[in-house]
Amino acid sequence: MREALRLASNGRGRTSPNPMVGAVLVKDGRIVGAGWHRKAGTEHAEIHALRMAGDLARGATLYVTLEPCSHTGRTGPCAQAVIEAGVRRVVAAMEDPNPLVRGNGFQMLREGGVEVSCGLLEEEARRLNEAFVVWVTEKRPFVTLKMAMTLDGKTATAGGESKWITGEAARLRGHVLRDENDAILVGIGTVLADRPSLTTRLPEGDGKNPLRVILDSKARTPLDAPMLKDGAAPVLIATTEGAPEENLRRLREAGAEILTAGQGPSVDLPVLLRKLGERDICSLLVEGGSTVHFSFLSAGLADKVCAFIAPMLVGGRDAVPAVGGDGFSRLADAARLTDIKTEMVGKDFCMSGYIVKE
């Protein structure tokens, strides 16, 4: 199963809105077939493994990270293919969380004479597909807040200087996060101050550029913003009904798509996330600014935090904090993290964890 999970992770950032899935066929103590799901619309992991095994699949045990599907979509039902191949036993890490299909694949397998067990390394499997689980059950993308800050929690000096707080290795890891997510979001303040491109720049040059989303309640995005010029990925401007129509017209003509979420004065984040979920956006990377980070935290819409921390002290009451806004007035209300992971990335620290949900 660990090998199946490792194989599944090869599809990270490429299978959405499908989950990452790995499959390993074992017979007489050796692996006879293996595979993973590459991309939505292509063959599933089980089919790759069955094809590799050929006749050796008969009587084998299939280890798979997710319940085999039982329905026909862009591909046929994997559970039926497993039955027809003569697989004797299926060991799955987790049940499909989709309420419309949950358990149906197992039922089809059992009715076809296949022995089924579920739950082996389930927690690891859920973490692997955390974005898919949230999207399919809550109809919104999984939200990760990404921050790059000094040891005293600043993302820029009082004068606005921020390049570069973290080192090259941490910045590269940030691009990996962009590659793994379906969409990336910043506020209009970040657009005006930094003029970011929000593209994925990896050394090998094969990174995926996510959908770029700008929170811009008054449609103030400059027409000469790099994102509107480079053609690297679509730009979605999330605004409100109170945004000036002339501004909206110009932005549409510049190539941006306008999505209205709320009547103002601020973009309604729950509405925005629901509309992104309807577009099959399963994962959203929020890169700031500080007010935007607090907006997601205070609304209970952040799922994970990934903070890159440089061993540097800036100080200053006017320096820009990683999380701004009004702040939580009581410690009891503060956002807390669990399942913390800390590692060195170059000369910087990376601390990540999951927001504790009440």
Strands (E), 97-141: 115-118
Whether cis (ω within 30° of 0) applies to the bond prior to 265 is yes
Catalytic annotation present for 180: no
Distance CA 80, CA 264 (A): 50
| Bridge partners for 92 per DSSP | 64, 118
Distances (CA, A) of 78 to 2, 29, 54, 69, 326: 21, 23, 15, 5, 50
Q: Taken in order 48, 53, 55, 60, is the CA torsion positive or negative?
A: negative
Q: Minimal CA–CA distance to 48: which of 77, 68, 24?
A: 24
Distance CA 328, CA 319 (A): 19
Contact 198, 227 (CB under 8 A): yes
Contact 95, 120 (CB under 8 A): no
- What is the β-pairing status of strands 348-355 and 337-345? antiparallel
Distance CA 170, CA 344 (A): 9
DSSP string, 290-355: HHHHHHHHHTT---EEEEEEES-----TTSEESS-TT--SSGGGS--EEEEEEEEETTEEEEEEEE
Options 46, 67, 95, 287, the catalytic residue:
46
Distance CA 53, CA 268 (A): 51
Helix (H, G, I), strand (E, B) or coil at 358: coil
How many CB atoms are closer than 10 A to CB 350? 20
- The widest CA-to-CA distance across the chain, in whole angstroms, is 70
Give the DSSP H or E segment for 188.
helix 188-194
Catalytic site residues? 46
